[in-house]
């Protein structure tokens, strides 16, 4: 009798273990799919904000975003929470979510912080970078420089392929600084500055040569002239800030 009971309990335990394993596998799969959906929703909404499809200050309705993303409300809500944490959307108890507004104060704060952090990251990268880093920098600049910056159909907008290569160039510049945390902070600021950077292209009558600005930064870096490279980088960022500030001053943007 004892033998039969032990065998019964053993069989039952195996059954429950199999059920638990299947449930755990299902839960993990559901979580992975949810993360993927939320990530996809984030990418779609983020791109719409960056491109200006969703305007600064615009109220974000879940029905509209669900249609835009082709998803249910849950991944869209999760994406909005992430975008709010990153400063691209804002949340209000009464109005819900809306696109974060643009302001001169935020622009100057972002640019000033980028000068501090990326200037130091570039200085360290020049100090520690080896020949492989030099090769990556040359390659990143070459690929970027082969592409036109503005779109043919809309000269006041940045081409997406150029924008990707531009991000690669700035990423490689600081990649040898030996500080993953500093690199992460710089990348977050680069993304945060994106809406302002895109607006700078629409400023008319600019006496600016962005290709030359990038070449100058790279030349100083390859010559191991840290002071020159950092100064050129800061000037590069300030020119963008000055261009966007003009839009505010001329009333094209409301602070």
Written as six digits, the tokens of 11 are 């069989």
Report domain extents, the chain.
Answer: 2-99, 104-249
What is the predicted pLDDT for the residue at 104? Answer: 93
Q: Any idea how long the chain is?
A: 255
Q: Three-state SS across the chain?
A: CHHHHHHHHHHHHHHHHHHHHHHHHHHHHHHHHHHHHHHHHHHHHHHHHHHCCCCCCCEECHHHHHHHHCCCHHHHHHHHHHHHHCCCEEEECCCEEEECCCCHHHHHHHHHHHHHHHHHHHHHHHHHCCHHHHHHHHHHHHHHHCCCCECCCCCCCECHHHHHHHHHHHHHHCCCCCCHHHHHHHHHHHHHCHHHHHHHCCCCCCCCCHHHHHHHHHHHHHCCCHHHHHHHHHHHHHHHHHHHHHHHHCCCCCC
What per-residue confidence (pLDDT) applies to 203? 72
Helix (H) / strand (E) element for 26: namely helix 2-51
> Which superfamily does 104-249 belong to?
GntR ligand-binding domain-like (1.20.120.530)
Mean pLDDT of the region 228-245: 95
The Cα 53–Cα 202 span in angstroms is 15
Distance CA 187, CA 225 (A): 23
* pLDDT at residue number 26: 42
Average pLDDT (151-167) is 77
The residue ranking higher by pLDDT, 90 or 157, is 90
Greater confidence, 93 or 206?
Answer: 93
Confidence grade of residue 94 (pLDDT, cut at 50, 70, 90): confident
Q: Closest by alpha carbon to 58, among 68, 47, 71, 49?
A: 49
For residue 218, the tally of other CB atoms under 10 A from its CB is: 22
Higher-pLDDT residue of 40, 148: 40
pTM score: 0.78
d(CA 41, CA 37): 6
Residue 90 forms beta bridges with which residues? 98
pLDDT band at 208 (very low <50, low <70, confident <90, very high): confident
Out of 31-45, 91-105, 148-162, least confident range: 148-162
Q: What are phi and psi of 204, to 5 degrees?
A: -75, 160
Q: Which residue has the higher pLDDT, 154 or 138?
A: 138
Q: Would the pLDDT of 148 be above 50?
A: yes
Kindly indicate the confidence band of residue 141, based on its pLDDT and cuts at 50, 70 and 90.
very high
pLDDT above 90 coverage of the chain, percent: 58
Q: Which position has the higher pLDDT, 208 or 255?
A: 208
Q: What pLDDT is attached to residue 249?
A: 85
Averaged pLDDT score across all residues of the chain: 85
Q: Rounded to whole angstroms, how far apart are CA atoms 114 and 187?
A: 10
Of 14, 8, 99, give the one whose Cα is nearest residue 52. Answer: 99
Name the pLDDT band for 254 (thresholds 50, 70, 90): low
What integer pLDDT is reported at residue 70 of this predicted model? Answer: 92
> Residue 4: pLDDT above 60?
no
Confidence band, pLDDT 50/70/90 cuts, at residue 51 = confident
- Record the tokens describing residue 113, joined without a space: 């912080």
CATH, domain 2-99, list 1.20.1050.140, 1.10.10.10, 3.30.470.10, 3.40.50.300: 1.10.10.10
> In the prediction, which pLDDT does 202 show?
75
């Amino acid at each position: 009798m004892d033998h039969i009971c032990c065998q019964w309990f053993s069989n039952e335990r195996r059954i429950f273990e199999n059920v638990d394993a299947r449930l755990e596998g299902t839960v993990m799969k559901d979580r992975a799919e949810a993360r993927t959906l939320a990530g996809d929703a984030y990418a779609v909404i983020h791109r719409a904000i960056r491109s200006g499809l969703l305007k600064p200050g615009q109220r974000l309705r879940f029905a509209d975003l669900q249609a835009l993303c082709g998803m249910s409300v849950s991944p869209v809500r999760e994406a909005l929470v992430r975008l709010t944490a990153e400063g691209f959307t804002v949340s209000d108890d009464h109005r819900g979510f809306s696109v974060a507004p643009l302001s001169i104060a935020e622009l100057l704060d972002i640019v000033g912080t980028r000068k501090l952090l990326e200037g130091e990251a570039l200085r360290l990268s020049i100090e520690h970078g080896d020949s492989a880093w030099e090769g990556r920098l040359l390659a990143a600049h070459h690929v970027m420089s082969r592409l036109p910056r503005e779109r043919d159909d809309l000269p006041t907008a940045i081409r997406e392929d150029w924008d990707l290569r531009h991000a690669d160039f700035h990423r490689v510049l600081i990649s040898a600084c030996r500080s993953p945390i500093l690199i992460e902070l710089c990348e977050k600021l680069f993304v945060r500055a994106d809406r302002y950077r895109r607006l700078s292209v629409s400023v008319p009558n600019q006496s600016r040569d962005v290709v030359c600005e990038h070449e100058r930064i790279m030349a100083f870096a390859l010559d191991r002239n840290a002071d020159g490279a950092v100064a050129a980088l800061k000037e590069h960022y300030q020119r963008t800030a000055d261009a966007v500030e003009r839009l505010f001053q001329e009333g094209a943007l409301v602070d």
